[in-house]
């Protein structure tokens, strides 16, 4: 019977191992954004973006007076970026297209041949290595000429964005099957206009965030409907937004439960409810709250512009999956006398509330990101409960480190978040199709300049060649992808990784192998 016991034990161990593995069709990726990595800010006729203008006219706005003029020089070193993605064995690489690199004026009357060629080359090289391109249309680098006309506070922005999307589809839809229209709408609208620190450098927290909010949702919907109408039947691609999902929980229970619910509607609901809810439009509680507050403040109507019934139907359902970035969490409480926080940073004047760091959270190189891995699972639970059993894609999740940090911290970060993600899949039955680490390589981290390092590849910004070097976390992530499990051995991470010397593994082959092992173990059990 010894052999029977051995087979039973082996089967149990295999089952335990399999329990720490992601579903067979789960995808792993990494991400970057055009302004943060490309450089070549005025190369080959590229137009000026709002970030170009900010860094060139307000040196004090960025740590160390840094700019994205060269950044990681991916405009010239894109082949190296693709090689890194191949070394990792990525299933997909998420990158953004620079609106002013394709359309220097922001409008379709002038399409840059050099810009078109750059992204053609990048897409084709990714596909050559079996890596799916996931393309973000807008990652914050609005053409300056459109900003001069009001940018996202001008209702015509939805038409301009639709025209831009039409150009991208006509150029790349035959090869790009997954599109993100807009990255982190809440940053584009609320963070930018409430704080005034990010481009375009305008602080107007009363009207601008809400004009931007509505115009952005219409712009997204126009881009989606255009694809649905003219390209879906040809290429069967998929489109969504990438919302920034700040997990908000009550500071004191039960006192702050309702406030936390309102905070979630204010934070993610305004950018998700119009698309994913059954009724469409703004979340009911936040729409009522903003109307009552606006009337109390002396306005004749809500500062949050209402949707018409036609607009509700037009925006509703304009996503094929729910994409979101998860970085951080906060607790919410009522503001005390004299407290008046900045929304998305430390509070909300509209909600008369303040945000606090949750107990047990840790920090990296910035105090804006309180790291709380359990918040990822809780966010997925909330989204499923609120919007239903959609397919969810983690479009960003990353650790804000510094250049010479001990990289085991980043490994722990990735492992802890993947563990929470897998629990959500297995125990909460949330449908999650993939995970995207931010970022593939070190980059220009907005107002943080080059002092904050998210990359699993180090970039030497003092070297004109912008030398890229894999960190220990890159080797860990390659092992995760190769094994389809977050629980990989130290030998894989610390020894010369086979993932960096093998031919990049096709995701289907990788997952089929995992399934094959399980089938063999089960078969042996019944012999």
Active-site entry in 249, 350, 396, 445: 396
- Cβ neighbours of residue 55 closer than 8 Å, sequence gap 6 or more: 61, 62, 66, 67, 68, 69
Does the annotation mark 396 as catalytic?
yes
Taking the CB of residue 144, how many other CB atoms lie within 10 A of it?
21
Identify which of 429, 434, 402, 438 has the alpha carbon closest to the alpha carbon of residue 418.
434
Hey, CA dihedral for 307, 311, 313, 319, is it positive or negative?
negative
Taking the CB of residue 519, how many other CB atoms lie within 10 A of it?
10
Active-site entry in 48, 80, 125, 184: 184
DSSP state of 441: B
Identify which of 11, 31, 56, 38 has the alpha carbon closest to the alpha carbon of residue 395.
31
Q: Let me know: does 398 contact 435? Beta carbons within 8 Å.
A: no
In angstroms, the Cα distances linking 24 to 478, 481, 513, 515, 527 are 17, 12, 9, 7, 25
Full 3-state SS string of 138-207: ECCCCEHHHHCCCHHHCCCHHHHHHHHHHHHHHHHCCCCCEEEEEECHHHHHHHHHHHCCCCCCCCCCCC
Dihedral Cα 166, 170, 173, 178, nearest 10 deg: -20
- CA distance linking residue 112 with residue 116, whole number of Å: 6
* Residues labelled as active-site residues: 184, 396
């Amino acid at each position: 019977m010894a052999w029977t016991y051995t087979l039973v034990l082996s089967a149990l161990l295999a089952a335990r191992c399999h329990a720490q593995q992601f579903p067979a069709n789960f995808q792993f990726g990494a991400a970057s954004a055009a302004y943060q990595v490309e450089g070549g800010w005025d190369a080959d006729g590229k137009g000026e973006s709002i970030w170009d203008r900010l860094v060139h006219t307000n040196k004090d706005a960025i740590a160390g007076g840094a700019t994205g003029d060269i950044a990681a020089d991916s405009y010239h070193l894109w082949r190296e970026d693709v090689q890194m993605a191949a070394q990792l064995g990525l299933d997909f690489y998420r990158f953004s297209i620079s609106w002013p690199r394709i359309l220097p004026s922001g409008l379709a009357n002038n399409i840059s041949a050099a810009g078109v060629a750059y992204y053609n080359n990048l897409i084709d090289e990714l596909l050559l290595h079996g890596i799916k391109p996931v393309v973000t249309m807008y990652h914050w680098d609005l053409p300056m000429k459109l900003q001069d006309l009001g940018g996202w506070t001008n209702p015509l922005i939805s038409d301009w964005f639709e025209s831009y999307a039409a150009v991208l589809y006509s150029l790349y839809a035959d090869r790009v099957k997954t599109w993100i229209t807009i990255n982190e709408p809440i940053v584009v609208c609320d963070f930018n206009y409430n704080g005034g620190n990010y481009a375009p450098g305008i602080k107007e927290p009363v009207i601008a965030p809400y004009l931007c909010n509505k115009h952005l949702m219409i712009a997204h919907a126009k881009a989606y409907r255009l694809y649905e109408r003219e390209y879906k039947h040809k290429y069967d691609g998929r489109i969504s937004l990438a919302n920034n999902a700040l997990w908000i929980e009550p500071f004191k229970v039960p006192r702050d439960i309702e406030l936390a619910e309102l905070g979630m509607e204010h934070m993610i609901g305004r950018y998700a409810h119009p698309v994913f809810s059954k009724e469409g439009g703004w979340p009911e509680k936040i729409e009522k709250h903003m109307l009552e507050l606006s009337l109390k403040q002396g306005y004749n109507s809500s500062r949050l512009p209402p949707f018409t019934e036609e607009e509700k139907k037009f925006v509703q359902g304009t996503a094929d999956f729910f994409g979101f970035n998860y970085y951080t969490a906060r607790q919410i409480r009522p503001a005390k006398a004299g407290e008046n926080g900045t929304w998305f940073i430390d509070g909300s004047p509209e909600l008369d509330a303040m945000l606090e760091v949750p107990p047990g959270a840790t920090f990296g190189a910035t105090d804006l990101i309180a790291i709380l891995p359990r918040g990822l699972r809780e966010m997925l639970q909330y989204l499923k409960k609120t919007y239903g059993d959609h397919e969810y894609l983690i479009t960003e999740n990353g650790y804000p480190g510094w250049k010479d940090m001990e990289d085991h911290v980043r490994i722990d970060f990735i492992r802890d978040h993947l563990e929470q993600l897998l629990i959500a899949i297995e125990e909460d039955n949330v449908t999650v199709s993939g995970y995207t680490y931010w970022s593939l390589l070190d980059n220009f981290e907005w107002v943080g300049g080059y002092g904050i390092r998210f990359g699993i590849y180090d970039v030497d910004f003092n070297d004109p060649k912008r030398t890229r070097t894999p960190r220990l976390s890159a080797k860990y992530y390659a092992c995760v992808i190769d094994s389809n499990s977050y629980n990989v051995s130290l030998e894989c991470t610390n020894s010369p990784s086979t993932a960096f010397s093998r031919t990049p593994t096709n995701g289907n082959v990788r997952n089929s192998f995992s399934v094959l092992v399980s089938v063999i173990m089960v078969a042996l059990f019944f012999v």
